[in-house]
Amino acid sequence: MESCRIGGEYIDMNILMRVENFYKECGLDMFKDISAYMGYGYVHKTPESFILAKTVRTDLDTHPADQWGVTGPNAWYVHTAVGDDWIMDWVDLMPFPLQKVGWMRHLKNRPVKFYDLETILRRRK
């Protein structure tokens, strides 16, 4: 585990290093995504997890990553998630429930898949 010294205190930067490594591996621009989601989506960061998410519609032909400011959203799209048990972190922290939660596996080159929120909540118990 690595740390950096800021203002006389040691702060663990592990999650941000993990996020940076994930973005490098995917060939994506981390700062562009963080800026977009800070302005128009949701950003959640703890020492253990990092999540970028936004509301989308699953009935549109537009890829969820390209949907911004949709009317009548029916799903959460998790664009980036790094950390252990991040989906349960997000379910606990989402500002309001929507019918579905979706994400894609960038590193496995898989399409976005949406899951019913109720199914996720049942599996948690």
Tell me the pLDDT tens digit for each residue of 61-86.
999 999 999 999 999 999 999 988 88
**Where residue 108 falls among pLDDT bands split at 50, 70, 90?**
low
DSSP element (H, E) containing 117: helix 117-124
Pairwise CA distance, residues 51 & 16, whole Å:
11
Question: Residue 46: what pLDDT?
Answer: 87
Q: How many domains would you assign to the chain?
A: 1
Q: Supply the CATH number for residue 43's domain.
A: 3.40.630
Pairwise CA distance, residues 34 & 37, whole Å:
5
8 Å CB contact between 15 and 83:
yes
Span 6-33, average pLDDT:
80
Span 22-38, average pLDDT:
94
Beta strand pairing call for 42-45 and 49-56:
antiparallel
Please give the residue range of the domain that contains residue 48. Answer: 3-124
* Model pTM score: 0.82
Locate 125 and state its tokens: 């118990």
Beta strand pairing call for 49-56 and 75-83:
antiparallel
